[in-house]
A and B are shown apart, each in its own frame.
Chain A
Amino acid sequence: MSVLQQGATEEKGENARLAAFVGAMAIADMVKTTLGPKGMDKILQSMGRGHEVVVTNDGATILKSLYVDNPAAKVLVDISKVQDAEVGDGTTSVVVLAGELLREAEKMVLQKIHPMTIISGFRESCELANKRLEAVSINNEKDEKKFRQDLLNIARTTLSSKILTHDKDHFAELAVDAVLRLRGSGNLEAINILKKPGGTLRESFLDEGFILDKRIGVGQPKRVEDAKILVANTPMDTDKIKIYGARVRVDSMQKVADIEKAEKEKMHDKVKAICAHGINCFVNRQLVYNYPEELFADAGIMAIEHADFDGIERLALVTGGEIASTFETPEAVKLGRCKVIEEIMIGEDKLVHFSGVALGEACTIVLRGASSHVLDEAERSLHDALCVLAATVKDKRVVLGGGFPEMAMARVVGEAAATTPGKRSLAMEAFSAALRAIPATICDNAGLDSAELISQLRAAHAADGATASGVDVITGGVGDMNKLGIYESFRVKQQVLLSATEAAEMILRVDDIVKCAPRQRQE
């Protein structure tokens, strides 16, 4: 007897659990091959018009673009998204770890162990693993030089799995420079990433100033030194009357001309008011029409129109000016300043370059590359690196990479499992196995013998608790991560551990799936 709506489905008990496990593992398996420095990319073709193609190995981007029907899979997609928003990297790892946890859990459920027992084992393991992770983290906060080296290493590790891997040293420098300029504010908005097709990835560069992808008005100076900039958000087309219901009603052509003149006069006054600020550069968010443009040209002021909102906000931030919309009180408005504004050419395009800006926080990274796909992927990779670095600047702890933290955590959890009485110990052992699956996946993706390598690694960790060994994908053996300089951000690793456990727990707790009938589409 069904009490649900027609078209709704319900799955219960073992069936529900099976459906949830299968869905979650399918998602995890799909992104699994992108993990690690030798991970592969995916092509995503959109269903929309033009069938746009995205090539990426960023877990969050892949999962975001998928249309998933399985509710458990949706949970994993969601944690990946949150990981992206929270720390920016580790979006694949979190899904893979959650998938491995569920894979282990499935085996235990088949052995008739109650999910709640598994959950309590997982919780305890997670706590232990987290403590171990904190214990193996390194903090070089005091030593600025060393910290910079840490950051470089982290950036290199993050970038090594992306398209930028061949120029990772170059980009690691770029990213670290950009983030250190923020001076710990962690406000990534101040870093402007410009993509210009053409050239090679290596030609990408960091510019200390600010580059605005806009043009300077016709007949206006192309280079201004010692610029005083007014950043504005005001209509410079026709100044509309905002009072509701106003309309023009005239009875002769003469009057039309008069009002037109008055309108022109109004614009003229406005330009005059703007000029009275003593500026030589005017940047507006909205359009600047021909007439005011001409007036600005007459006054020898550089006018830049239609800078989008982000551009305006950044420019205001960089030059230290404020965004103005009224111009009656020139003395009250703070003007932005910079040394030189000039038009520069990158590839074929003309851009406006602000250099010698007051606030050194902001900078622009110009990415060059063969095609827009390459550039998009490069931007995503760089974004990941920037996010990780920003997170590391906030929480200055770092951990070794190359599967080292996973192995260290797996060892502690495994040891605790051996001394824990009761069925929970099975769950803890499973947790440790799931942790080991991450370095195993990295090996597999690199075409290495994962079973051999992981057992060697495990032995190395068991023999010496203070070891720094991890997987060296390049030589295909066990290596000292400290010497190889493979570092990862503590914050990212911790977030991966916690969210993956939380998600696995959530899916494990389910014993009933009710799908409502899909809403009927209105024609």
Chain B
Amino acid sequence: MSLAFDEFGRPFIILREQEKKSRIRGIEAQKANIKAAKAVARILQSSLGPKGMDKMLQSPDGDVCITNDGATILEQMEVENQIGKLLVELSKSQDQEIGDGTTGVVVLAGALLEQAEALLDRGIHPLRVAEGYERACKAAIANLDRIAHSFDFSLDDIEPLVQTCMTTLSSKIVGRHKRDMAEMCVKAVLAVADLKRKDVNLELIKVDGKVGGRLEDAKLVYGLVLDKDMSHPQMPKQIKDARIAILTCPFEPPKPKTKHKVDIDTVEKFEALRETEKQYFLDMVKRCKESGATLVICQWGFDDEANHLLLANDLPAVRWVGGVELELLAMATGARIVPRFSELSADKLGRAATVREMSFGTTKDRMLVIEGCPNSRAVTIFVRGGNKMILDEIKRSLHDALCVARNLVRDNAIVYGGGAAEISCSLAVEAAAEAQAGVEQYAMRAFADALECIPLALAENSGLPPIESLTEVKSRQLREGNPHLGIDCNDAGTNDMKQQNVFETLSGKKQQLFLATQVCKMILKIDDVIQPAAYE
């Protein structure tokens, strides 16, 4: 740490406890940052593409997670380095915004920084590099818009959508059944999509799972699946044409929040209290029954007495249903959530064609399936898998596929995958660089080189000779002017991604470029890192 001295040679204290803090600055800081970012990107590089490998992550508590989803890997890795954290955030924001391409964005950012390092070595100012990247990004985006295709589908013809989802799923462990899974995802998205407004609320799609069974046993339920069973073992297991009351008040004597005491000092009072108590339960159940409900779903617990009264009154009930599920249920069945028994009435009930209990395997696990709701726009994808880790990975993969389908519904422009879009952009940026005078030209060329890292990584992961495959495709793109040529990862025999049906959404690709460039600029602008001493 550098120190400042006054005229008598005594050091100034500028920062609190400055002797304990470590500080790096200038070019050194930039180098260190770039190095850290590269380290993170390198971890993800081998997970890119359909033949990408998985990572095994052990959490601090010893739980194991196996995944090749970029956002999940970074999140579970618990990166400590600050620049590393920036990249984790980058991946997360791609996940939130688009839901797919979380690996690609980090790999791209890493490559951009790697190229920047070489430029810094040549003495180019970091801000000029950032400026050049910005221009290059603009050129690349313009090129993406140029090569984008609009993508046609309708409710009757979902095949194109299914194809896109299959591309996403092919890199995951569910690749074996990508066809069924992709169809399921597309159907789920279309079920909740508002095609007029081009909007899809993914919250209406619940992906739920139970260990055991096989991948093939996964199914799409047009309704909801609750991980609960009836409160009393002898309540009916199946209800047809159910009218559902959704309650957020417990079947228990009321507990006012103000502190109070009920004093009992005479026998009469004791008797009176006894009667009131009994009456409470009778009233509650009567209210439910009178409203015409045939199924009570409650957020809280039941008293034993209330439970039996419900059974005696032939009123099946489910207790301890979580808040999120309750809301979904209310949405699906068209019910109103009722906070007090006194407000229960017939018009606040929801409807469902069938409610049934499903049991699994040899254990006591049971789940409640609610189907045929008036508002069919709540669906559940129910997956099965050999073990917990596979199940989690399936859920993550399906989430990615759902996001892709949603993006296509929102914006039906696509670009071709397999690195085709990146190669085309790289060519475009290079061409734009020629027209640019000044130091930025170098930066733009560097950007073009960095874009090539995606097809390079794809080829490497697929076991192809990376440089040969890339240069071949690049020269063909230039010669034939065909932006659909990419790396043939699946060994399908053609480089034309249009024929292979490999595409990605335009919005996702654009987002990748924007985000990666932004983060790069941010990291390049840092020239001083002050770190407090480790906490003791």
Give the interface of A toward B (CB within 8 A).
1-6, 8, 10, 16, 20, 69, 71-72, 74-75, 78-79, 81-82, 84-88, 114-117, 123, 187-189, 233-234, 241-251, 255, 258-259, 261-263, 266, 313, 316-317, 322-326, 328-329, 332-333, 387, 390-391, 498-499, 502-503, 505-506, 509-519
Contacts and interface: CB of A to CB of B under 8 A. Distances in A.
Contacts of A324: 308, 312
Contact of A249 (B54, B263, B271, B312): B263
A509 B40 contact: no
Contacts of A510: 53-56, 66
Interface string B356-367: 000111111100
A246 B273 contact: yes
Interface in B297-354: 303-305, 307-309, 311-312
28 contacts: A1-B39, A4-B77, A16-B56, A74-B64, A75-B66, A79-B386, A85-B211, A116-B463, A241-B264, A243-B276, A243-B277, A245-B259, A247-B262, A248-B265, A259-B267, A326-B312, A332-B312, A502-B385, A503-B386, A503-B390, A506-B54, A512-B53, A514-B77, A516-B60, A516-B76, A516-B77, A517-B60, A518-B60
B265 A241 contact: no
A262 B304 contact: no
A251 B274 CA distance: 21
Given A249-B264, A259-B270, A510-B66, A516 B57 contact: yes
B59 interface: yes
B255 interface: yes
A2 B83 CA distance: 12
A266 B264 CA distance: 15
B54 A325 contact: no
A258 B266 contact: yes
A153 to B, nearest CB: 20
Contacts of B280: 243
List 7 A-B pairs, minimum CB-CB distance, nearest first.
A325-B308, A511-B53, A3-B84, A519-B60, A3-B81, A86-B212, A78-B387
Contacts of A502: 215, 385-387, 390
B229 to A, nearest CB: 12
A387 B276 CA distance: 49
A4 B78 contact: yes
A461 B56 CA distance: 40
Given A258-B267, A505-B173, A516 B58 contact: yes
A207 B170 CA distance: 54
Interface string B251-287: 0111110011111111100110110111011000000
B26 interface: no
Counting chain B CB atoms within 10 Å of each CB, which of A263, A317, A326 scores highest? A326
Nearest to B35: A1
B262 A245 contact: yes
A16 B267 CA distance: 76
B361 A86 contact: yes
Contact of A86 (B66, B68, B362, B393): B362
Interface residues of B, number: 87
Contacts of B361: 85-87
A335 to B, nearest CB: 13
Contacts of A85: 211-212, 361-363, 365
B79 interface: yes
A247 B263 contact: yes
Nearest to B314: A332
Contacts of B274: 241, 266
B387 A79 contact: yes
B389 A75 contact: yes
B80 interface: yes
Interface string B229-246: 000111000000000000
B253 A243 contact: yes
Most buried by B among A234, A499, A519: A499
Given A255-B265, A518-B60, A519-B61, A323 B308 contact: yes
B80 A78 contact: no
B56 A82 contact: no
Nearest to B40: A3
A512 B55 contact: yes
Given A322-B234, A503-B387, A519-B61, A71 B312 contact: no
Given A247-B264, A248-B264, 4 more contacts: A3-B81, A244-B254, A247-B261, A247-B263
Nearest to A19: B56
B176 interface: yes
Contacts of A333: 312
Given A3-B80, A86-B212, A244 B387 contact: no
Contacts of B73: 514
A237 to B, nearest CB: 14
B270 A263 contact: yes
A88 B363 CA distance: 9
A232 B237 CA distance: 21
A71 B78 CA distance: 17
Nearest to A114: B463
B36 interface: yes
B253 A244 contact: yes
Nearest to A269: B274
Residue among A69, A75, A333 with the highest chain B CB neighbour number at 10 A: A75
Interface in B357-399: 359-365, 385-390, 393
Nearest to A79: B387
B389 A78 contact: yes
B43 interface: yes
The interface centre, meaning the residue of B84, B233, B303, B359 with most chain A CB atoms within 10 A of its CB, is B233
A74 B303 CA distance: 41
B388 to A, nearest CB: 6
A261 B73 CA distance: 68
Contacts of B262: 243, 245-247
B389 A4 contact: no
Nearest to B385: A502
B266 A255 contact: yes
A509 B68 contact: yes
Contact of B56 (A20, A87, A322): A20
A248 to B, nearest CB: 5
B46 interface: yes
